[in-house]
Structure 1
Amino acid sequence: MPIHSFPTTRFTAATAPGGLPLLGHAPALLRRPFDFVAGLAAHGDLVRLRLGPLDAYVACHPELVRRLLDEDHAHDGGGPAPDSAPEAPGDGLAACPATAHRRRQRMLQPAFHRARLPGYAAMTAEEIAGTTAPWRDGDVIDVPAAMYRLTTAVTARCLFAGHDRAGALPGQASMDAIVRGAGRRVMMPLPGAGRLPTPGNRRYRRARQDLREVTGRLIADYRADGTDHHDLLSVLLGAVDEDGQGLSDAEIHDQVVTFLLAGTETTAATLSWAWTLLAANPAVRERLHAELDTVLDGRPARHDDLPALPLTARIVSETLRLYPPVWLLSRTLTADTRLGGHRVPAGATVLVSPYLLHRRADVFPCPGRFDPDRWLTTARPAAGTYAPFGLGARSCLGDTFGTTEAVLAIATIAARWTITPTPGRPVRPVRGLSLSPRPFTATLTRR
């Protein structure tokens, strides 16, 4: 079997301490995943974990991460439990094998071409304004739930602009069941555990079936209509590869589910974290308000405003650094490989954590501090150091769409409202597919 090598002379390797008999490091990863993963860099550049009967290797050094993800000939998508139940996106762009991924990525790139962004931004601005219109001064809201409703409306509009979207999508409880169920499967240390008849697994399977039925109806409606609605579903239906072959209904379904999950959960989490960070840093919030008062004067933000909102954009970048929505990535090696000069066998899982990378003090001084101005001098961070949407061939196609949506949402909302989290209960992350905060409330104050 061939040995693939990523040349290096300086990487160190170690086994993480504290593994338990039989279970290894799985309990620590499940109980306190963020602290556990962030602390691995102190042990080496390539750190071996034992997850039940499986081994996994965490790439902790940015240069090692860059070479691993950019030179993707020796690995494929995968996870600690490759024979567990399928993930929510099924065979979507986020989870399909490398051979299928290259074809589908080329077919789907036109959906996120820069020329389409102004149109998506216009839809986004309308949905933000409509979703926040019922807010009243003094209201107390569940912030993650409110941001989730907002991003669901935006994503549904950009996916299905030609459809009456009211009631077309599953409810938040179903979407939560999918996101949390998929998160458990990504981190599941024991093969087959996703098929056990637990309440969580049953909710997950029911929610996946509901979502499949909804997207199936929408695909059928669009095929029958035959009109280009200039939305994402129209692009999927019209996409063809170099041989002139289009996507099957099953492939389109999987891409729709991938876009729907990525477009709602990740951006909602980013917005929720942003409000907590701004509330804890009033000096930054005052500067944000000054920028928005100058540029917007109370009106909703538009795509044309983006160049005039540099602080707002830096706030999004810094929020994504501290709380990257895609906080843990996994790859399965397809051949015996040398990572940083250390042999890792074919079939092994290699994990990459943007959460860990973003908290390296040698890359980001005072990494725990919320400092949007660090991006004044770090506009283009070195490859492998900043990866809120992944890296390499599998980085998110919709990253610019997501950041644009977040900037427009923060600008439009902060221009009119101050969001103050209820004191007394720290906002903590929830273990799952994305780095989302636990539910928390906040008071709205009209500016």
Structure 2
Amino acid sequence: MGKSGTQFTRVPGNRPLVGHFLRLRREPLRFLESLPAYGDLARIRLGPWHVLVACHPDVAHEVLTDFRRFDRTGPVYDTVRQAMGTGLATAGYHDHRRQRLVMQPAFRREHLNGYVEVMRKQVTTATTDWHHGQTLDLTEAMFELTTNVALATLFSSHLDEHQTRKLRTALDIFLSGLTSQAALPALGRLPTPRNRRYARALADWQTQVRRLIESYAEPGTGQDDLMSRLLAARDENGRALSHQELSDQVAVLLLAGGETTSSAVVWAIHLLSGRPDIRAAVQSEADTVLGGRTAGLADLPRLELTGRVVKETLRLFPPGWLTLRTATRDTTLGGHWLETGSMVLVSPYLLHRREDFHHDAARFEPDRWLTGPPAARGSYLPFGAGATKCIGEEFGEAEATVILASLLSRWNLTPTGDPVTCSARLVLSPASFRVRLSARSATS
């Protein structure tokens, strides 16, 4: 019972010990879409934690933009930071503010051309061995591609193939286990094979990243890459990021540049497979603009439809599908009284699917973006909102557009096997998506 006398609507299905965690893990999208029926703030339980879910855009926007009342604090963030460190995606507001000011110059538009050139080269390399009639798991292939892009952008020539593979494997393992570790901390401490595998992957990851950063101190190792720019960056007091802060940023940047972008590309191809009319139009655009080559930065303004497909995919399947904030003081939200320490979950997926804010919300319709973003604040949040909005928004949209246009200009990707299902990881990712490749010419 709240101080104002109002009561939160409790969502049914609360199981002993795990609460609603199994529902969120087994049928995450259906569960989230059911929550607005319980009001602007619905109460669920995830393991030991009682959590309020912001089901209205206004409430979500308030939570994400008012850092004086809601911040990245509390036991769940403590667990996440043990794995990912205190980087841009996990730091509390004051640490985040300093980090963002230091890192912002490395994401200036003037550097985007170099980053896109890395994307273009990696796309070409990744698809060199593809052949007509081949069947592959697109989820795995795109995760490998985009993680390689992120690693090459960060570390330039410092990584060999073996190091890249080890880092990518470790990242995949700890991303798979992090959600369970955060929601069910008691189970995460048990000496199970899965927990031991998670701990080994995390230790390997941290060791490899530390060695890579230390290698930049060697004479003659300066490169025109993202890590070199971060090492050279200074805050307003002339202080550089420490090696620990740099290590923490690597986890965040690889998550944002790898897992989130790969998921967006796979979901886009999944959605296009259900709309052959739009797929044909995207391929026609790619034929006209690219003529069979890999896309570059100069092509992006002309890949208008492909860009809208990316935006619409981010609406229907936002990679950052869950974000948490904790009340740092007694306050009110959505007409309810919240005590200090109350946890509020914001789900862009839930908000993007609300019919009252997105007409025909479940329909894949890229042309809805011809009129610009939705007017209602908080109704479109693929990159977050407020001071903690993703620093790599332009990078991510450019990468997804480059990859999607480049693939569709050369290949038809036809789904095979079972329908695609969602994997409830830290990122909203397709569990597996098998496709058959059919080569096409630029004049197809």
TM bucket by the smaller chain? Answer: over 0.9
Deviation at 1:192, TM superposition (A): 3.5
**Bigger mean CA deviation after superposition, 433-442 or 31-40:** 31-40
Identity of aligned residues (%): 45
Q: Does 1:176 align with 2:172?
A: yes
What's 1:281 paired with?
Answer: 275
Deviation at 1:34, TM superposition (A): 2.0
2:431 to 419, 425, 438: 438
2:225 to 231, 237, 250: 231
Deviation at 1:194, TM superposition (A): 2.4
Q: Does 1:353 align with 2:347?
A: yes
Q: Does 1:261 align with 2:284?
A: no
Q: Does 1:147 align with 2:175?
A: no
1:99 to 86, 94, 99: 94
1:132-143 equivalence runs, <5 A: 132-143=127-138
Question: Structure 2: how far apart are the matches of 1:161 and 1:51?
Answer: 40
Deviations 1:28-70 (A, max 9, x none): 3333222112211111011122334432111111111112211
SS at match of 1:102: helix
Deviations 1:338-385 (A, max 9, x none): 112211111111000001011000111221111111111234553211
1:308 to 302, 306, 316: 302
What's 1:203 paired with?
Answer: 197
Q: Does 1:40 align with 2:35?
A: yes
TM-score, normalised to structure 2's length? Answer: 0.93
CA contact (8 A) 1:84 1:195 kept: no
C-alpha change, 1:427 and 1:200, in structure 2 (3 Å) is same
CA contact (8 A) 1:85 1:192 kept: no
What's 2:357 paired with?
Answer: 363
Aligned length: 435
Q: CA RMSD in A?
A: 2.0
Question: Structure 2: how far apart are the matches of 1:25 and 1:148?
Answer: 29
1:28-427 equivalence runs, <5 A: 28-78=23-73, 81-82=76-77, 84=79, 86-169=81-164, 170=166, 172-186=168-182, 188=183, 190-225=184-219, 227-379=221-373, 381-422=375-416, 424-427=417-420
CA contact (8 A) 1:16 1:40 kept: yes
CA contact (8 A) 2:374 2:380 kept: no
Question: Structure 2: how far apart are the matches of 1:19 and 1:30?
Answer: 14
CA contact (8 A) 1:13 1:45 kept: no
**Bigger mean CA deviation after superposition, 211-220 or 164-173:** 164-173
CA contact (8 A) 2:36 2:55 kept: yes
What's 1:6 paired with?
Answer: none
Question: Structure 1: how far apart are the matches of 2:136 and 2:239?
Answer: 47
CA contact (8 A) 1:327 1:355 kept: yes
CA contact (8 A) 2:9 2:41 kept: yes
Deviations 1:289-329 (A, max 9, x none): 11111111111111011111110001111111111100000
CA contact (8 A) 1:23 1:51 kept: yes
Letter in 1 for 2:13: G
CA contact (8 A) 1:121 1:303 kept: yes
Letter in 1 for 2:354: R
CA contact (8 A) 2:167 2:205 kept: no
C-alpha change, 1:122 and 1:23, in structure 2 (3 Å) is closer
Question: Structure 2: how far apart are the matches of 1:324 and 1:167?
Answer: 31
SS at match of 2:123: helix
Letter in 1 for 2:120: A
Letter in 2 for 1:313: G
What's 1:7 paired with?
Answer: none
Letter in 1 for 2:301: P
SS at match of 2:42: strand
TM-score, normalised to structure 1's length? Answer: 0.92
Question: Structure 1: how far apart are the matches of 2:128 and 2:78?
Answer: 46
Question: Structure 1: how far apart are the matches of 2:189 and 2:47?
Answer: 17
C-alpha change, 1:109 and 1:83, in structure 2 (3 Å) is closer
